Amino acid sequence: DSYLRSVINFDFNTRISELLLEKSVKMDLQQFEEPENYDKLQRSLQEGVSSAYETFIGAVDSFRNGLQLVSVAGVLVAWNPVLALAVIASPAPVILATVRYGERVFSLEQERTQDRRRSYYYRYLCANDSSYKELRMFGLHNHVRSLFSTFVRRFKAQDEFLARRQA
């Protein structure tokens, strides 16, 4: 099962990445430089690949669990129809809460796309040998590191707030 999932994951991620790159090379320079298009492309490349596989696996697992639920409900209907109805309805609150949480996470990630890109840039500046030398020479390394830390702390606070609300 683990081997099969890793092979499917690799194939799935590779194909999604190829499709995204095909789409990106067809964009003209003006489209590529528009912040909204660039943000969508970056989100797709950074999160879309793994998210697509996780969504696929989640759908397969949900289908399997749904079949199990219907099987158990079928047995219960013969025994006690009211109990069968209760078993079928019991996952509804969890499903609704999960969907609502997913919407909040998606919205938050979409809102902070530009800030996340800035934080990646600051991290790159501090960790890349050529830019690091310039930052040190002009005494900007602590300032850039501080900018990165500000974004990371804000992301952490937002994620913790969402996690507390989910719990």
pLDDT in tens, the chain (167 residues): 677 777 877 787 788 878 887 887 788 888 877 888 887 877 777 776 666 777 888 888 889 988 988 888 888 888 888 888 888 888 889 889 888 988 998 898 888 888 988 998 898 888 887 887 888 889 998 999 999 999 999 999 998 888 888 77
Output the pLDDT for position 1: 64
Output the pLDDT for position 58: 84
Single pTM value for the model: 0.55
Q: What's the one-letter identity of residue 105?
A: V
Integer-rounded Cα Rg, in Å, for the chain is 23
CA distance 10 to 61: 19
Angle (nearest 5°) at CA 69 between 68 and 71: 65
The pair phi, psi for residue 139, each rounded to 5°, is 70, 30
* Residue listed under structure tokens 């600051």: 122
Q: Which residues are within 8 A (CB) of 43 and not within 5 positions of it... i.e. 6 or more apart?
A: 109, 110, 113
